[in-house]
Each structure stands twice: as C-alpha cells, then as structure tokens.
Amino acid sequence: MAIVGTVREMYRYPVKSFAGERLETECRIESYGIFGDRLHAFIDETKEGWNSFITARGIPAMLSYRALLEEKGAEDGEPCVIVTAPDGKQYRWNEELLREIQQFARVKISMKSYRPKSGGGTGIDDSHILIVTNRSLLRLEALWGKELDPRRFRANLIVSLNDEGAEESEWIGKSVTIGSAELRIDKGCERCAMIGLHPDTQERDPSLLKVVNKELKLIFGVYASVVKPGAIAVGDKVLLRSP
C-alpha cells in the first residue's frame, strides 16, 4: 500500500440538499457511508426514483438550512436531526419543518427518513462516500479563474495529496484504507447544476458547471463504497491499495 495523502476535512449532510456539518475530529463509517449522512430527504410523491427528490437545484433556499445530528438523542438506534433556519429558529424532523419547506415548493412534498440498518438505503445519489482532493480543487480554481469554495461539491472527505500522491482518477477500481475503514473507489462523480450555487448566498453562477463540462467532461471527485466499516479522523493517512 502507498500513502497518497491525508484527510483534511470531513463533512456530513443529515438532510439531503440542506447545508451540513463539518466534523472536526472522528466519524463512524457504517456500511452505508458516514454515520447519519443523507438519512432524511424531501420527496415529490408524484415522481419515482431519484427524480422524486426535492433538492436545491429547484429550491436553492434549502442550502440556507443547516442540519446536524444530535447523536445522544438517538431514537430506535438512529440519530436525531436538528435543523437551523436562516433566521436562527430550530426545527426537528417533523411536520413543523415540512410546513416551513413547503412554502418554497410548487408541488406538495413529503418527508422521508431512511433506516439503513433495516435495509432501507439512504438518500445518497450513488456510492456511499464522495471524495475530493486539494489538488483537483486548486486545478479547477485556476481553470475557473475565481475563488472556489470546496463546499460547492458536497464531498464527505477532502483529501490533501502528497506531492507524489496519485490523482484520484487513478484510484478508480482500487481500494483505500483510512483509519480503520476500507473503501473501494468505484467511479468519478458526474456533476450537475448544484455546484453553481454558492453554499452561503445561494447565488447562481452557471459558469462553473460550464468549465467542469468543457475541461473535465463533467467529472469531479470520486465515489467510494464501504468495504469495511470503521472510523475515520481528520489527519488520518490515505493508503492506496492496488487491485
């Protein structure tokens, strides 16, 4: 195994398309990904599959609501979610929050909570964990010509590569060990209009997606699935294993 970098930042998004939380120390890696990640979502019940999710692509204001987990208040083995609105008001995952978000939607929406330990899946778009590296961020920032906030990409892990560390595109089909967890790198992440939304102001800038399309064929970051659950901490080494 070769050490290719270290974990610089970790993020969790308890509610799909809401702002999430930066994890400062250690996090659990479950079979479905980071503990508590994308376990709640808003749904348009008239649609099916991934098209049924209500996201910030259609309602940018969703990004102004910040969700975090209160793990000590877990119910039935699952963590409780606390949502803070732009005005500072706090909500639980209940009908009051649904009414708050319904005001932004043109269609009737509902709430969905996942119980992955019972085989219920999650609201994750593809594989379990999304990884972006500092080298790719710096390269894209130079191509775009503007300051680039990494939160635009909603990655779970941001990895700082060693000078000699392999690019994440070279990880595909291989496994990485981070902390006590093992992940398999499945494929690149195809990007959409979400990256054009500033994570704080929700201002749209479609020029970023155009650059990613032209220069990177819409691929930025990699998806990984969990081979072995464990724990990952900021500062952990990323060890790359060949197939």
Angstrom distances, CA of residue 33 to CA of 67, 80, 90, 157, 199 = 17, 17, 26, 11, 22
Q: Which of 201, 28, 231 is nearest to 117 (CA)?
A: 28
Cα(32)–Cα(10) distance, integer angstroms: 16
Please tell me the predicted confidence (pLDDT) of residue 96. Answer: 97
Please determine, for residue 180, whether its predicted confidence score (pLDDT) is greater than 90.
yes
The percentage of the chain sitting over the pLDDT mark of 90, rounded to a whole number, equals 79
Residue 115 confidence class, pLDDT cut points 50, 70, 90: confident
Please tell me the predicted confidence (pLDDT) of residue 25. Answer: 86
Please determine, for residue 118, whether its predicted confidence score (pLDDT) is greater than 60.
no
Q: Which of 78, 63, 70 is nearest to 30 (CA)?
A: 78
Please tell me the predicted confidence (pLDDT) of residue 120. Answer: 52
Other CB atoms within 10 A of residue 88 CB: 6
**Do residues 20 and 11 make contact, with C-beta atoms less than 8 angstroms apart?**
yes
Q: What is the pLDDT of residues 19-70, one digit of tens each?
A: 999 999 899 999 989 998 999 999 998 898 878 999 999 999 999 999 999 8
Handedness of CA 70, 76, 78, 82 (dihedral sign): negative
Handedness of CA 48, 155, 88, 201 (dihedral sign): negative
The set of residues, in sequence order, having a beta carbon less than 8 Å from that of 9 and lying 6+ positions away, is 22, 150, 157, 158, 234
Q: What is the pLDDT of residues 217-232, one digit of tens each?
A: 999 999 999 999 999 9
Residue with tokens 């994570």: 199
Taking the model in full, what pTM does it have?
0.92
Q: What average pLDDT does the structure give for the chain?
A: 92
Cα(47)–Cα(50) distance, integer angstroms: 8
Residue 185 confidence class, pLDDT cut points 50, 70, 90: very high
Residue 20: phi, psi to the nearest 5?
-115, -150
The percentage of the chain sitting over the pLDDT mark of 70, rounded to a whole number, equals 92
Cα(196)–Cα(152) distance, integer angstroms: 7
Residue 168: phi, psi to the nearest 5?
-65, -25
Angstrom distances, CA of residue 181 to CA of 4, 31, 46, 96, 228 = 16, 10, 38, 37, 5
Collapsed DSSP state (helix, strand, coil) of residue 175 = strand
The average pLDDT across 3-23 equals: 96
